[in-house]
Amino acid sequence: MFLTCEGTFGIVPATMDYNGDAGPGHFHAGYQEIEGINLGYLQINGTQMFALAQVLSDLFKDIPRTTISKKMETLKIKSRRCDLQELRTLKAINSVPTRAVKCSLISKADLEALCTSCKSLSPRR
């Protein structure tokens, strides 16, 4: 169900260290196939974080956003706002539109829980 696709895609290598140091904000970008859809992620402090905008537009495109919001609330899934460097990286790997000025991230574990919870809601699952 969850396959990791590491390698070059677009203009940012999947395992590129964006900052190049081990301090705060150290992360790298990659792609993972989830439910047959290639989603970009940031590996931040050992956790894969996915752009909520891409999750909603690509993975749950057939489900109303209010329904997804209610599921997230029920499952106690919290998103976190990404910082400027993270946003730029997500734009570079085409996970969010270049016009985006902000983005929220959810963890892989939360995304898996959301996928499981929404399986019965989408006609293509």
CATH number at residue 78: 3.10.260.20
Cα–Cα distance, 49 to 96 (Å, whole number): 13
- Residue 87 sits in which domain range? 31-110
Residue 61 lies in a domain: yes
Nearest to 49 by CA among 11, 119, 99, 96: 96
- pLDDT the model gives residue 119: 82
Which 8-state DSSP code applies to residue 70? H
- pLDDT the model gives residue 44: 92
Residue 90 lies in a domain: yes
If DSSP codes are grouped into helix, strand and coil, which group holds residue 52?
helix
Cα–Cα distance, 49 to 72 (Å, whole number): 15
Residue 18 lies in a domain: no
Burial class of residue 14, CB neighbours in 10 A (0-12, 13-18, 19+): buried
Residue 17 lies in a domain: no
Which 8-state DSSP code applies to residue 96? S
Number of compact structural domains in the chain:
1
Residue 60 lies in a domain: yes
Nearest to 50 by CA among 88, 105, 5: 105
- Which residue positions in the chain have pLDDT lower than 70? 1-25, 122-125
Do 37 and 54 meet the contact criterion of CB atoms below 8 Å apart?
no
Residue 15 lies in a domain: no
- pLDDT the model gives residue 24: 52
Residue type, 38: N
- pLDDT the model gives residue 50: 97
Nearest to 35 by CA among 121, 119, 120, 109: 119
- pLDDT the model gives residue 123: 58
Residue 7 lies in a domain: no
Residue 93 lies in a domain: yes
